[in-house]
């Protein structure tokens, strides 16, 4: 029987900028529709989520991932060339899409990709409903982060 891969071996690509720029409310795990070369690129961690966003539509119900750069997989480039910035479809239930569509319509809300990872061999994207932070909110989160670092340093010196 073949040994299972370690959980740490699979790469998780996070959008840390989204957590800094937005206050994240609801989150939802969606499947991703990818081609073969794109799957291999995601496994290698060649994904940039920084500029990405998600759009929900109701006719027909669907979620689309825009602005996420998945680099071309070099060996598969000649066979089936794809654009690294193409729009990709996300898979979710109709009720979930309707809920996200309603929250997207509220002024100031945006659907942002937070993580891309593999679960049971399938590519997944964690998306969240983000409300934009003001400059003051961003400064506050920087202060919190720095104070947590100071506390961690102080406790590590004592131990």
Mapped onto helix, strand or coil, the DSSP state of residue 120 is coil
Q: Token match 């670092």: residue?
A: 149
**pLDDT of 34-75, one tens digit each?**
887 888 888 888 888 888 899 999 989 999 999 888 888 877
Q: Distance between terminal CA atoms of the chain?
A: 44
pLDDT band at 9 (very low <50, low <70, confident <90, very high): low
What tokens were used for 90? 């996300």
**pLDDT of 107-159, one tens digit each?**
888 999 999 999 998 999 999 998 888 888 889 888 988 999 999 988 887 76
139's CB contacts (< 8 A; 6+ apart) are none
Mapped onto helix, strand or coil, the DSSP state of residue 26 is strand
Q: Compute the distance between CA of residue 75 and CA of residue 86 in angstroms, rounded to an integer.
A: 19
Our CA dihedral for 42, 45, 51, 53, rounded to 10 degrees, sits at 40
């Amino acid at each position: 029987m073949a040994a299972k891969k370690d959980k740490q071996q699979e790469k998780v690509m996070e959008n840390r900028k989204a957590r800094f720029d937005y206050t994240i409310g609801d989150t939802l795990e969606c499947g991703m529709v990818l081609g073969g070369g794109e799957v291999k690129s995601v496994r290698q961690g060649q994904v940039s989520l920084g500029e990405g966003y998600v759009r929900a539509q109701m006719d027909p119900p669907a979620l689309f991932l825009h602005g996420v750069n998945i680099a071309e997989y070099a060996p598969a480039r000649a066979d089936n060339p794809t654009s690294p910035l193409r729009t990709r479809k996300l898979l979710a239930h109709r009720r979930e899409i309707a809920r996200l569509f309603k929250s997207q319509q509220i002024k100031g809300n945006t659907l942002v990709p937070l993580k891309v990872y593999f679960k049971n061999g399938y590519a997944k994207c964690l998306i969240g409903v983000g409300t934009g932070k003001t400059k003051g909110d961003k400064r506050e989160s920087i202060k919190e982060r720095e104070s947590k670092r100071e506390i961690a340093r102080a406790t590590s010196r004592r131990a």
